[in-house]
Amino acid sequence: MFTVIKPMRGPKFKNEVARYPGGENIKRCFACGTCTLSCPVSEAESNYSPRRVIHKILLGLKDEVLSSDEIWYCMTCYRCQVRCPQDVKYPEIMRVLRQMALEQGYVKSEFVDAMKEIEKVTQDIRRKILKRFIEKRESITEKDIREIISLSDKIQP
Amino acid sequence: MNKRILVIGGGIGGVQAGLDLAQMGIKVTLVEAKPSIGGRMAQLDKTFPTNDCSTCILSPKLYELASHPNVDIFSYSTLDKVDKKENGFQARIRKKARFVNEEKCTACGLCSEKCPVKIPDLFNKEITTTKCISIPYAQAVPAVYKIDKKHCLYFSKGKCGICQKVCTAGAIDYEQKDTIETIDFDAIIVAAGAEEYTPRIRPEYGFGIYDNVVTSIEYERILSASGPTGGHIIRPSDKTAPGSIAFIQCVGSRDISSGNYAYCSSYCCMQATKDAIITREHDQNACSTIFYIDIRAFGKDFDKFVDRAQSEYNVKYIKSRISEIIEKPKTKNLAIKYITPDGRINTKEFELVVLSVGIRIPDQIKELMTELGVKLSEYGFCPCDAFEPGITNVDGIYVCGTLMGPMDIPETVMSASAAASMAARGLLSPEISSEIIKEKPAEIAIEEKYLKIGVVVCHCGVNIGSVVDVPEVVKFAGSFRNVVFADELIYACSRDSIKYIIDKIKEHDLTRFIMASCSPRTHETLFKSALEEAGLNKYLMQMTNIRDQCSWVHQDNHEEATEKAKDLVCMAVGRSRYLQPLHELDSEVNKACLVIGGGIAGMMSALFIADNGFRAFLVEKDTELGGNLLKINYTLEEKNISWLLGKIRERVQEHPLIDVCLNTEIREIKGYVGNFTTNLTSGKEERNIEHGAVIVATGGREHETESYGYRDESYVVTQREFETMLLNKNPMLKYAHTVAMIQCVDSRESDKNYCSRVCCGEMVKNILQLKNDYPDKDVYVLYRDIRTYGMLEPYYTQARKTGALFFRYDIENKPVIQKEENGEFIITVYDEILRRYIKLRAQLIVLSVGIDPLETNDQLARMLKVPLNEDGFFHEAHVKLRPVDFATAGIFVSGLAHGPKYINESVSQAIAAASRALTIITKDKIRSEAHTAVINEVRCTGCGFCVDVCAYNAIEIDKEKNIAAVNTLMCKGCGSCAATCLSGAVDLSGFTNKQLIQEFQELFL
Amino acid sequence: MVWKIQGVEGENYLESIKNFLNQLLKSKNVDAVLVPKRFPDGNNTAQVLITDPGKLDDIDPLAPVQMVNSAQIVKELTKDPVKEKIASVLRPCEVRATIELIKLKQILDARLYIIGYDCPGVYNVKDYIEKLEKSNGIGKEGFTLSYVNSFLSGKQDTIRESCQLCTHFTGNSADINIAWVGSNSSDVFIEVNSEKGQSLIEGLAGEKIGDLIERNQKINKILDERKKRQENEIDDFLGFMQRCIRCYNCREVCPLCYCKECLLKPEKMGYSSDRYLRRATKKGQIKMPVDTVLYHLTKINHMAFSCVSCGLCEQACPMDIPLGRIYNVFGRKAQALFDYEPGRSLDDELPVATFKEDELKEIEDVKE
C-alpha cells in the first residue's frame, strides 16, 4: 500500500495546528519516539503511537488524522510532554485536534460531550476496579483477580 | 626577549597550546585549578577510532610540557584577578596550599598508604575512595601529593599527623599558606574546558537512584585498568560482570526541555561505540546495545569504526530515544522499553545502563569569562567567527577546546595549536632563535680513561627500601670488576642527592654511572643532567628500574625482589661497560615555510606564518587563490563569504612575507626537516626554493555522481549548485513547488565508506535560505542520519521549524525516483514511522554528494613520502594528538586534504599547521636525536628491509654503494630497522647489539 | 599458456631441451645460457655459462645430482648491471630461491630470464657417485635417462629426503618452464608464466596448445604422495642439535644466507677463554662447541620465511642432521602464518618487511 503525499491547498495542516496555543512546537519534532515509549495508552494498544500521529500531522494527512479514533485516545497524563526533548506538547496538540475535528465537522458536539462523559466514567470504573483490588490485597486469590478482570471485560464492546 | 603567555586550563587543549608556545620560544605560565594537569583525557580509558590507551598517549605530552624550560605550571591554583594593561595583562595567581612542599615531595606515596582517612575519589567519579592525602592518578603531573584539609584529622581534630611522621623527605607542611604571584602577560589563552551534564535533571533515567545506571565518564573509569575496579567491568550493585549493557545517547544533548541543551555534544556516539567495543574485548559474551536518535559518526574513519562494532563486536544500534528506565527490585537489572526497527514496542532487561551524558560549561568558567570580559553565547560557550577561530571580543584573549563548543580531542588539539600561533603574533621574530641553549661544563673525554663504574641504589623512601634489601644490592654492585663506587641514597632525586652524585662522579673520576631506582620515564632527565653537571656525557648513565620491576610487583616476596634487583643491577653494569658518549647533531634551519594549495586552508596557513614574521611560499596550481571557497556564497554562520574571502585574498596577496606562486606546480621536493628544496614550475619557468617546513593544504573536491539521474536530468542538482540557484534566484525555482533533498548520495557505502561531514549542514543551510526566500515551498529531506553535530544542531531545529519534512531511509532500501510525463519526479521511499511506502512528488531534486580526495594526492604523497588513508586522504601522524603533523618531521597537513570538514574547521587546522611549522622555523638550528640508527657498511647487503619498516622515511638505499644510509636528523631512534635487519647491519646507538648482548652475558656467563 | 615449439623434439628429453636452448641462443633472444653440463669425464655436472650454441652438447639439467643451489651462481652473475641477456636454466627450488633473492635485492633481474623445468629430484652426492659407478655400461646420458624413467614410474624412495618432501617440483614461478612430465614422447612443452617469458620465445616457430590433462594428473598424484610424507613436528630437535659441530657447512651452501658478514661467524659467537671457564664453573660442565642450538635457532629465525627447502644444508651436513626435514617443518609453519610461499611470485611481499593489522591475531588474542 502506498500513501501518496499530495501538496496541500490552502493553509497547511501543520501550520494550522501550530497556530493554536499548545500546538506551537509541533514542527520541532525529530521523531525520536520518546512520546510513544512514555504513553500508557500505547502499552494497552500497541497500534497507538503518538509519534505516528505527529508524523501524520506533519505529512499533512488532515482527513486521516481528524477522522481517526486515535485523537481521542490520549488520557492527558502528560508523561510524553514532560519527557519530550524538543518540548512538543502532545496532549495539548490532541486537545487542538479534537477542537479542530469538532469545528471542521469531523465530529458532532454531542460526540465531544459524550467523550467527556465517557472519560469521567472511565476514570470512575478504573477507580472502582482498583479499589476492589486494593481491598483484597492481603488475601488475594487467583479467583479474585479473575473476577476483577472480568469486570473490565464487561465494559468491552 | 621575555614574552610570556598565560594559559588557563591544563587539559589537552591547554597542554598543546602551552607546548606549541614553549617550542616557539615563548614563556608559558599554565594555571590549572585541579591538583594535576591532564584534564578530561586522563580520565578516559581509550580513544576512538584506534582504541589507543588514553593515558599512554597523553602522559608523554604532560611530561614534555612539565619538563620544558619555558613552562611554569601552577597546579591547584586559581586566578584571583586579571587586569588589562597596556599591551597585555597582569594576573594575580593564587597557588593554594597543598600542605605538601612541592620541591621536597618525591611522590613515594608512603603518606597516602599510612593515612587513616578515606575520602571519596573525585578522579574516579566517587566510585571508590582515596586517602585524605593523595595524588589523583598514578601518572599525575606534577606528581605532588595534596592534603584535603576538610577531611584531615590533623586540621579538624588537631591530632594524627601520621603523614608528617612517615614522610622521610620532610615534605609535609601543615603550616603552608596560599601563595600569590603577580605576573605580567602579553596574551591569554583560555582552555578551561567544559564539564559533563548531570543526568539527575532527567529523573526518569534513575541516575543517582538506581545503582546500575552510570554516566559515560564513570564507565570510562570502570573500563580503565587503573580505575576503581582495576579494569574489571563490574556493575556497582553486586560487583558482577554485566552480560548486557545499554548505552543511552543524547542525555543532556539535543534536549531543550531539561535545560538549555539545544546543541549536540558531538563525541558521545563514538564514545559509546568505543566503550561497547572495549566491553566486548574484555568479555567475549558481553552484548551492548546503543539507543540513539542519529548516529553521528562524522569524523575520519568513524563510520568504519561503527561498522566494525556491528560486524565484529556484536554491538546493536537501535534508533529509539529512551523514555524511562525501570529497576527490577530483586536483580537490580534495568528494564528499557524501546521501539524496534520494524516499529513495534519491546522491553528488554539490561544489567548495566550507561548514560552518554552531554557537555556544558560550568558556572565558575562562565564567571571567569565574564570577569575577563569575554562574551559567551546563549549556551554558555564562546563561539568564534569561522575565519577567526579562537579570537574573542577581548583583544589579547584567545580561546580553544570545548570552551568554543562541543568537540573531540583532535579538534581541541587543532584549536589549541591555532590559538598558540594567534596569541604569538607580534612576539616572534626570525632574528631570535627559539631553541634553548643551556650552558654546561665542558665534556670530559673518556676514551683515554680507565673504565670506572659508579652505582647508586635508591631507597625511594620506603618505596623500594621496605621490600628490596638495598644495602645487599649495594654490596653486590660493589663486587663487580670496574665498579669503584657503590652507595645507597634515601631519595636519589632530592636536590642534596643530586649534588652528592655530582661530587662522587668527580671524586672517583667515574666514566660510567648506574642509577638503580625508579622509572626513566619520569627521572632519567634529572639524573642525566647530574652527569652533565659533573662533566660527563649524559649518555654514559644507565638507569635500571628496581621500583616498578622489583619492589612494586614483588612486594610480597622480599627475597626474590632483592635477587631480581641484583640481577637488574648486574645487567646494567654489563651494558654500561660498552656505553659510549653520544651527541645530538645540529643542523641549520631555513626559516621559511612552503604551503601547497591556495584554498582557504593554504591561505590561512600562509597568513599566520607571515603574520608571525616568517616567510611563506604559497603555491597554487590554478590561476587564482580561493579554491573551493570560490564556489561557496554563504554558510550557516557567515552571510557574506565572498566578501570575507576577498579580504583574505587581498591580505595574502599584499603581505610582504608571502610569496604567492599562482599557476604553479611542484615537480620535486627534496631534503628533510629544516632543509627542504622544492622545484617549482610555472609554464616554462622553473625555480628552486628553500624552506624549513611544508604544509600540505591541497584540498578536496565535490564528488561526481551518476546516481539518481544526475547526469541526465537538469532538475537534479547538487547542494552546491542549489545554493547558487538560490543566490541567483534561478527561474527553475519558480517551477519547483517542492524540493526533495537526498543525503549520503554514494557516501557511507562500499566504494566511499566515509561520511563527508559537511553535507547535513549544507542541506540545513539551503533549507533555511530557501524557506527564507520562498516560505511556501515544500521541502522533503531523505536522510540516513542527520549529522548536525555540535552547535549546528540548533540550525537543524530551525530547519524543522520552517516546516521541512524529514524521512529516514535505510541503505538497503534507498529511495527510488521516477520521472512523470509532465516532468515531475515521484519519489518512492519507505516511511519507517507510518510503516508503509509513501510517494512524494517533487519538481526539483537536490543531492548531497559529499567530498572526494584529489587524485593527485597520491603523487604528492609519494613525493613527500607521507601516507594516505584507505579513502585517499592524507594520513596524519596520530588521529587524536597529532592531527596536523605527519610522522615525518617538518611536514604538516590541513584542510580537506586531511579529510572532509567545515570551513571553520579547515581554518582552525590551517592555523594549527602554521603553529606547528613555527615550532620548527623559529629555531636557528634543529637538533637530532642522540639515539639514532647507525649502518655497518661492511655488513649491509642493501636488501632494503630497513627502508620498508622506517616510519620516518629516515633511511634510503645509497644506489652507488648499494647500502642503506640513515638521515640522522630524521631518525627518531625507534629501532625498528635494527630489529628487522637480518644481517645485524643496523645498530641503534645507545642500544647497540654489543651493549644488549653484554647485558645478558654479564648475567648468565 | 603452453607452447609447443617447432623443431625441438629430439630422441630424448635431454636432446629436446638442448634443441630448445639452441633455438634461444640462435634467435639472439638471449645472449647466454646458464645450464648444468656433464664434466668431460662424465662423473658429475656443473653449471656452465654458454654463449656458443655449439657448446650445448652434454648439457644435463636432469642429472639426479645437485652440487650447489644455482641461485647462488645466478646471484654472482647478476650482482652488477650488464647489458647481455642471460637465461638461467634452474631447478624449481633454485627458481624459487632466485625469486627470493630478487626480492631481497641481491639479484638484479633486469636482464635475467628464469627458465625452470620439471625436476625429477636428485640423489645425495655420495649416492649419486656410487650408483653411477655401479652402472657401467649404460653411459652417462643413459644414467640420467634411466633415472628419469624410474621417476616417471613412481620410484622415489632412494632420492634425497628433501626431494621426497618437495611439493614444488615444476617451475611455475619461472618466466618459462620446460615441461616434460606428462609428455608421451621425448618432446618438451614450454609453459609461459610471465611477459618476460613470452618475450623469450618471441619469433620462435610454434603453436599454443591447450591444457595438458595427463600432465596435471601425474603431477597431482606425485604431490599427494609427497604431502603424505611431510611431517608437522620435529621429534627430537634438541637431540639433533647436540650432534652439531658448528662447521658452518649448512650456512655456506644455503642459497638464502645472503649476508655479507655473518652474525654467527665463529669470532662473533665465541667468548674469551675465562668466560668459558666461568660458564663451566657455573653449570659444572659445558658442551663444546657452545651455542649450537642458538646458532640453529637464529639461522632458522632468519631463513624460515624464505626457505625453499632445497635440502642442500642436509646434504652438506657431515653429522647427518636431518636439516632438510627440520627446515621443511619450521619453514612451512612460519610461512603459513603469513600466507606466504617463498618464490611464488615477485609480487608477494616479504612478511618481515610488511605490516598488516590483522596478522598474528592468535598472539594478540591470548588471554591471561
Per-residue model confidence as pLDDT tens digits over C291-313? 889 899 999 998 899 999 999 99
- Nearest residue in chain C measured CA to CA from B50: C357
- Nearest residue in chain B measured CA to CA from C350: B945
**Grid coordinates given for C35:** 645450464
Mean pLDDT value across residues C97-125: 94
Nearest CB among A14, A37, A83 relative to B803 is that of A14
| CA distance to partner chain A, nearest, from residue B743 (Å) | 16
CB within 8 Å: A34 and B321:
yes
Contacts of C275 in chain B (CB under 8 A): 1001, 1005
Q: For the CA atoms of A107, A110, A116, A117, what is the dihedral angle to 10 degrees?
A: -140
Specify which residues B357 forms β-bridges with: B251
Q: Find how far residue B726's CA is from the centre of its chain.
A: 40
pLDDT at B530 > cutoff 60: yes
Nearest CB among C261, C271, C353 relative to B948 is that of C353
pLDDT digits (tens, 9 = 90+) for B468-488: 999 999 999 999 999 999 999
- Backbone φ, ψ for residue B212 (5° rounding): -95, 25
CB within 8 Å: A30 and B800:
yes
| CA distance to partner chain B, nearest, from residue C161 (Å) | 28
More confident residue, C115 or C126: C115
Domain coverage including residue B222: 196-360
| Residue B224 near residue B40, CB atoms below 8 Å | no
Q: What pLDDT was estimated at residue A125?
A: 85
Neighbours, chain B (3 or more CB pairs < 8 A):
A, C
pLDDT digits (tens, 9 = 90+) for B793-806: 999 999 999 999 99
- Reading phi first (left if > 0) and then psi (alpha if -120 to 50, else beta), residue B193 is in left
Position B683, amino acid: G
CB of A41 less than 8 A from some CB of B: no
Cα distances (Å, whole numbers) of residue B456 to B481, B543, B549, B962? 16, 10, 17, 46
CB of B803 less than 8 A from some CB of A: yes
Q: What pLDDT was estimated at residue A157?
A: 43
One domain, residues B17 and B92? yes
Specify which residues B682 forms β-bridges with: B685
Whole-angstrom Cα distance, residue B953 to residue B887?
9
pLDDT at B459 > cutoff 80: yes
- Who's near B175: CB < 8 A, 6+ residues apart? none
**Within-domain flag for B440:** no
Whether a cis peptide bond, with omega within 30° of 0, leads into B142 is yes
Burial class (CB in 10 A: 0-12, 13-18, 19+), B676: buried
Q: For the CA atoms of B835, B838, B844, B847, what is the dihedral angle to 10 degrees?
A: 30
One domain, residues B264 and B401? no
Q: Measure the N-to-C terminal CA separation of chain A; round to a whole number of Å.
A: 30
Contacts of A56 in chain B (CB under 8 A): 834
pLDDT digits (tens, 9 = 90+) for B615-647: 999 999 999 999 999 999 999 988 889 999 999
CA-angle at B555, arms to B553 and B556, nearest 5°: 120
CB of C91 less than 8 A from some CB of B: no
One domain, residues B814 and B733? yes
Q: What pLDDT was estimated at residue A11?
A: 66
One domain, residues B947 and B969? yes
pLDDT at B191 > cutoff 70: yes
- Nearest residue in chain C measured CA to CA from B994: C268
CB of C2 less than 8 A from some CB of B: no
Q: Return the H-helix or E-strand segment holding B783.
A: strand B778-783
CB of C283 less than 8 A from some CB of B: no
Percent of chain B exceeding pLDDT 90 equals 84
pLDDT digits (tens, 9 = 90+) for C224-269: 999 988 888 888 899 998 899 999 999 999 999 988 888 887 777 7
| CA distance to partner chain C, nearest, from residue B412 (Å) | 28
- Nearest residue in chain B measured CA to CA from A42: B345
**Grid coordinates given for B535:** 662533566
Nearest CB among A29, A37, A58 relative to B323 is that of A37
Specify which residues B158 forms β-bridges with: none
Specify which residues B184 forms β-bridges with: B90
CB within 8 Å: B841 and A5:
yes
Nearest CB among A27, A34, A51 relative to B803 is that of A27
| CA distance to partner chain B, nearest, from residue C353 (Å) | 5
Q: What pLDDT was estimated at residue C47?
A: 92
- Nearest residue in chain A measured CA to CA from B253: A85
Specify which residues B336 forms β-bridges with: B325, B348
Q: Is B689 helix (H, G, I), strand (E, B) or coil?
A: strand
Q: pLDDT confidence of C63, banded at 50, 70, 90?
A: very high
Sequential DSSP letters for A45-67: -TT--HHHHHHHHHHT-HHHHHT
Q: For the CA atoms of B51, B52, B53, B58, what is the dihedral angle to 10 degrees?
A: -140
- Cell numbers 637465461 correspond to what residue? C87
More confident residue, B804 or B259: B804
User: Which residues numbered 92-151 in C keep a CB inside 8 Å of some CB on B?
Assistant: 104-106
- Who's near B842: CB < 8 A, 6+ residues apart? B736, B738, B739, B740, B780, B824, B825, B827
Q: Class of the A8-107 domain?
A: mainly alpha
- Nearest residue in chain A measured CA to CA from B292: A32
Q: Lowest mean pLDDT of B27-31, B569-573, C201-205, name the range.
A: C201-205
**Within-domain flag for B900:** no
- Cell numbers 587563490 correspond to what residue? B625
| CA distance to partner chain A, nearest, from residue B223 (Å) | 29
Whole-angstrom Cα distance, residue C97 to residue C311?
12
**Within-domain flag for B924:** no
Whole-angstrom Cα distance, residue B705 to residue B809?
19
**Within-domain flag for B621:** yes
Percent of chain C exceeding pLDDT 70 equals 97
- Who's near B953: CB < 8 A, 6+ residues apart? B865, B888, B970
Contacts of B939 in chain C (CB under 8 A): 259-261
Pick the last residue of a domain from B541, B576, B611.
B576
CB of B285 less than 8 A from some CB of C: no
CB of A30 less than 8 A from some CB of B: yes
- Judging contact as 3 or more Cβ pairs under 8 Å, the answer for C and A is no
CB of B456 less than 8 A from some CB of C: no
CB within 8 Å: B948 and C104:
no
pLDDT digits (tens, 9 = 90+) for B822-860: 989 999 999 999 999 999 999 999 999 999 999 999 999
One domain, residues B207 and B333? yes
Whole-angstrom Cα distance, residue C106 to residue C129?
33
Q: What pLDDT was estimated at residue B433?
A: 84
Q: Measure the N-to-C terminal CA separation of chain C; round to a whole number of Å.
A: 53
- Backbone φ, ψ for residue B153 (5° rounding): -65, -35
Q: Is B618 helix (H, G, I), strand (E, B) or coil?
A: strand
CB of B940 less than 8 A from some CB of C: yes
* Range of A7-16, B911-920, C288-297 with top mean pLDDT: B911-920
**How many residues are given for chain A?**
157
Q: Lowest mean pLDDT of B789-803, C137-151, C317-331, name the range.
A: C137-151
One domain, residues B215 and B344? yes
pLDDT at B510 > cutoff 80: yes
One domain, residues B323 and B305? yes
User: Which residues numbered 215-254 in B keep a CB inside 8 Å of some CB on A?
Assistant: 250, 254
Q: What pLDDT was estimated at residue B775?
A: 92
Neighbours, chain A (3 or more CB pairs < 8 A):
B
Nearest CB among B344, B808, B838 relative to A2 is that of B838
* Range of B215-229, B425-439, C127-141 with top mean pLDDT: B215-229
Number of other CB atoms surrounding residue B439 within 10 Å: 4
One domain, residues B506 and B629? no
Whole-angstrom Cα distance, residue C137 to residue C146?
12
One domain, residues B283 and B143? no
- Nearest residue in chain B measured CA to CA from C277: B1005
pLDDT at C185 > cutoff 80: no
How many contacts does B have with C, using Cβ atoms within 8 A?
A: 49
Nearest CB among C105, C278, C302 relative to B944 is that of C105
Pick the last residue of a domain from B836, B852, B868.
B852
CB of A82 less than 8 A from some CB of B: yes
pLDDT digits (tens, 9 = 90+) for B671-714: 999 999 999 999 999 999 999 999 999 999 999 999 999 999 99
Q: What pLDDT was estimated at residue A1?
A: 58
- Who's near A71: CB < 8 A, 6+ residues apart? A53, A65, A94, A97, A98, A101
| Residue A51 near residue B833, CB atoms below 8 Å | yes
Nearest CB among C105, C106, C353 relative to B949 is that of C353
pLDDT at C361 > cutoff 80: no
Helices B268-282 & B302-312 angle (0-180, nearest 10): 30
| Residue B555 near residue B570, CB atoms below 8 Å | no
Q: What CATH number is associated with residue B257? A: 3.50.50.60
Q: What pLDDT was estimated at residue A48?
A: 94
Contacts of B984 in chain C (CB under 8 A): 259, 263
Global ipTM: 0.92
Q: What is the mean pLDDT of chain B?
A: 94
| CA distance to partner chain C, nearest, from residue B945 (Å) | 5
Whole-angstrom Cα distance, residue B91 to residue B94?
10
Mean pLDDT value across residues B433-444: 82
| Residue C37 near residue C100, CB atoms below 8 Å | no
Instruction: Name the residue among B247, B253, B312 with its Cα closest to residue B273.
Output: B247
Q: Is B35 helix (H, G, I), strand (E, B) or coil?
A: coil
- Nearest residue in chain A measured CA to CA from B803: A27
CB within 8 Å: C258 and B943:
yes
Q: What pLDDT was estimated at residue C368?
A: 47
pLDDT digits (tens, 9 = 90+) for C10-22: 889 999 999 999 9
Whole-angstrom Cα distance, residue B176 to residue B602?
52
Give the distance between the most distant pair of CA atoms in chain A. Answer: 63
| Residue B963 near residue B997, CB atoms below 8 Å | no
CB within 8 Å: B945 and C354:
no
* Range of B194-203, B315-324, C1-10 with top mean pLDDT: B315-324
Cα distances (Å, whole numbers) of residue C131 to C69, C126, C134, C158, C317? 22, 9, 5, 11, 21
pLDDT digits (tens, 9 = 90+) for B919-956: 999 999 988 889 999 999 999 999 999 998 998 889 99
CB within 8 Å: A38 and B323:
yes
| Residue A73 near residue A89, CB atoms below 8 Å | no
Position B667, amino acid: R
Extended beta strands in B86-208, E state: 88-95, 118-120, 129-131, 133-134, 146-147, 179-185, 187-190, 195-196
